[in-house]
Amino acid sequence: MSETLPAVPVHTSPFLADCRARVGIDVLAHAWNGIVIFALSEGPRRPAEMRKAIGGISPKVLNQTLRRLEGYGLVEHRRYAEAPPRVEYRLTDSGQSLLGPLWALAAWSREHGDGVLVAQERAERQQRG
């Protein structure tokens, strides 16, 4: 069964509210989305495995992030009929295709991250007076 997306005007400006480029920006706007996608880059994982690999993410926030990524069509889950119940999450083809841009962003962050942090600290000092 194929789904048909509603017609969306095609614009040449990436700054318009209905521009497709904003979809990608919105996906990356949530702090944990990219991290969870990276955590699933090597294959399916259970939530506890992801929390251990990621570190610093609460079960609640991980669950919210996984649900959001499922809603975006980037992640899917599989429930196993076992006792105790077991759930695994994996990237969809769309989620896999986002890894290239995420690796590019990671490379940019390694190269320019220190400069961004210095600029943020300078701006905070100026705001404090």
25 conformational bin, left if phi > 0, alpha if psi -120 to 50, beta if neither = alpha
Residue burial 12-28, b: 16+ Cβ < 10 Å; e: rest: eeeeeeebeeeeeeebe
Q: What pTM does this model have? A: 0.78
* pLDDT tens string 35-78: 999 999 999 999 999 999 999 999 999 999 999 999 999 999 99
Residue 9 has pLDDT above 80, yes or no: no
